[in-house]
Amino acid sequence: MEKQELVRRIKEYCRREEDPRFVKEIEELVREEAWDDLSDRFYRDLDFGTGGLRGVIGGGTNRMNPLTIRKASSGLARYVLDHGATNPKAVIAYDSRRYSELFAEETALTFCALGIRTYLFSAPRPTPMLSWAVRFLHCDTGVVVTASHNPPEYNGYKVYWNDGCQIVSPHDQGIIKEVRQVSGELPKMSKKEALEKGLLNLIDRTVDDPYFAMLKTYITRPEVIAAESSSVRIVYTPLHGTGAYPVERVFRELGIEILTVPEQREPDGDFPTVKYPNPEEASAMEMAVELGRKEKADLVMGTDPDADRFGIAVPHQGDFVLITGNQLGSLLCDYILRTKVEQGNMPKNPAVVKTIVTTELQRLIAESYGARCVDVLTGFKYIGEKMNQFEKSGDSYVFGGEESYGFLVETEIRDKDAVSAALMTAEMTLWNRSRNKSLLDHLYELYRKHGCFKEVLISKTFKGQKGLEDMKTLMEGLRKTPPESFGPQAVKVVRDYLHRKAWNTASGDQRDIDLPASDVLQFVLDNQAVVTVRPSGTEPKVKFYASCRTEPGLDPKEGLSKVSEMMEGIIQGLTALVPE
């Protein structure tokens, strides 16, 4: 960007930004002549993507700040009004991140200024509670201010439609178009005026209580909880996020005692005890695992800052092992379906929904119980969309999950819910104790029956302005010249989800892919191993997923050794493909 244009954009931003903290930040950078930093902050407007906003907090058009939030909210509000909502309503939640409360209030007051009655949670709440509130309050849209599990310098703005699902086609593109057209002065109403006019309504227990009551209806074995809960020891960490209040409350009401990691219990957007507040990361779970060792816990649980992702560790041979998202999803899938069969309440046309990068073990489990397994694109919004479709088709949703630690066991919500996943995992742990088994014993039963599976995720980060171009070049190169093998395993089938085509590399036979277009490439190898390449929709990363499996019937020790050896060859191929 030319310096003259950069200076113009800086002056325009400082004129329009009403929060002096963000203006001062830019003014100091100008005095320091930090032109590279300023260029990164102003070379574009922060992109409103198919799910909303996510970016680094700070002053500038390419940052998360009050002006960016008000612009996005103006576009979203106008889209809602243009789509015929009578007496339009919205609900807004926020997590524990820096400026989340401010950004939520800016959103609410923008909506109110445009005549939309707005419900705003009075304190931080998990993302799934926002999805619940949209449906419970019959709102036309919802927003949760969160950057999920990203590092502390990030925040975000996630948009939901009236079905409680994150926005999907056609609303996503329609909202993006409306946001990009926003110009001029932005509407805003004072909080005092919004409250006096009844346009702004602060909420808490009116939504909380029904949500917790709903969760408790999903308890399937109350007799097991009554018999086993007094002897189980559970350690939990909310990782400085929103999870402590809902998780502690629902467990307490069911009589299950949990011990929350004290250093990580209180909401804190700086996440002082972890580098990444993500239960997928072993380092994030260290303090909880250490407390688990000390307390000789039967289960260690963790939720991310907005309590939609859920991870666990379990005791094994005197220490603890982390259970992956694919493994926990498979355990929950099996437990829910097995329970329905045993209790004779399997619904008509049962279906499990998973993403295209989630383990195929879940398909084998579902089919073994007479349920079908449906694949969707990566992103839980596509699971929510499929749930909406099931309501019209007559299919019955019984479980959905994605490998990135997102699970949904109830049907009243249209997004992943770590609170209900924690509850179901605790019940599953107690049920396994009742039959003198551990969660690992349960997992090994699945491996014996369906084959041992192993999955890995490798991410490559692309930073700055050049990073976006490098990501694009990488995907174009793989699409133009697909690899012939990954390590010793030859590529048998290529699936190009962007062009919605799949073809056999030997015969050239093609077929259509019945999913929306998405910038994803998938390679099916020998022995049904799969490698998937996908640019992240929320971070400047390209993600490489690999999955391989053995034949069923092997002893788990033998099978895991065999599948690990297979994976090593695939990883070598991936490393050669994308060197550091």
Active site residues: 148
Nearest to 459 by CA among 535, 403, 524: 535
Q: What 3-state class would DSSP assign to 148? A: coil
530 CB-near residues (< 8 Å, 6+ apart): 360, 522, 523, 524, 545, 546, 547, 548
The token duo for 74 is 């103006």
Are 187 and 110 within 8 A, CB to CB? yes
> What's the distance, CA 434 to chain centroid?
32
Between CA 237 and CA 285 the distance in angstroms is 8
SS3 405: coil
Question: Which residues have a Cβ under 8 Å from the Cβ of 77 and sit 6 or more positions away?
Answer: 90, 110, 111, 114, 116
User: What is the layout of strands, in order, in the sheet containing 234-237?
Assistant: 258-260, 234-237, 299-303, 310-316, 319-323
Task: Count CB atoms within 10 A of the CB of residue 575.
Answer: 14
User: How many other CB atoms are found less than 10 A from the CB of residue 28?
Assistant: 11
Q: Which residues contact 463 (CB under 8 A, 6 or more apart)?
A: 540
Distance between CA atoms of 46 and 53, rounded to whole angstroms?
7
Yes or no: say if 187 and 195 are a contact pair by the CB < 8 Å rule: no
Do the Cβ atoms of 544 and 459 come closer than 8 Å? Answer: yes
